[in-house]
Amino acid sequence: MALLPILRYPDPRLHTRAAPVAAVDDEIRALVRDMAETMYEAPGIGLAATQVNVHKRVVVIDVSEDKSALMAFINPEIVERDGEQVCEEGCLSVPGIYEKVTRAERVKVRALNGEGEPFELEADGLLAVCIQHEIDHLDGKVFVEYLSALKLGRIKAKLAKKARITA
Ligand code: NI
């Protein structure tokens, strides 16, 4: 297992659209394990392969308190969405920034699990937010891009300042 470096916004590689996984093989299983380790270590509740510069449609999520409910979503697709919720979101690629985003309250997602078996899941609340946030990553979209241009400008300035201090 290995910890993977996480791309930081506004790294242009975060805007890459990830390609579907053709087969859940040993390489994909190793990627899922490394992504899970990286997510737990960060710590975070979700991670998309895009964020570790692997442009394949793979997401890991664990919204449990005690890291006991790891889920892998390979080639995830939202097939139904319903309602609306506003949640304050953060992202391992945008450290220290938390902003409210409006998303669907409930989603039905179809994907392959870590063994390559198809499944369907109906999610609401935090899990639904997390699924939508991570699938956005696979499509090259970062949550701060839902904000106004003014707010996004302020966030970019803040991140650039932080990068200068830590560089
Ligand atoms: Ni994120």
Residue 162 parent element (H or E):
helix 149-166
Reported as a single tens digit per residue, the pLDDT across 84-140 is: 999 999 999 999 999 999 999 999 999 999 999 999 999 999 999 999 999 999 999
Reported as a single tens digit per residue, the pLDDT across 37-71 is: 999 999 999 999 999 999 999 999 999 999 999 99
More confident residue, 166 or 131: 131
In the structure, ligand 1 is a single-atom ion and the residues with CB under 5 Å from it are 91
**Residue 79 reports pLDDT greater than 90:** yes
Rounded to the nearest whole angstrom, what is the distance from the C-alpha of residue 143 to the centroid of ligand 1?
Answer: 7
**What are the residues whose beta carbons fall under 8 Å from the beta carbon of 92, sequence distance 6 or more?**
6, 39, 42, 44, 47, 51
Residue 134 known to be catalytic? yes
pTM for the model stands at 0.96
Marked catalytic residue, from 99, 120, 122, 134 = 134
Tokens coding 1:
């297992």
SS3 call for 114? coil
Q: What is the mean pLDDT of residues 132-152?
A: 97
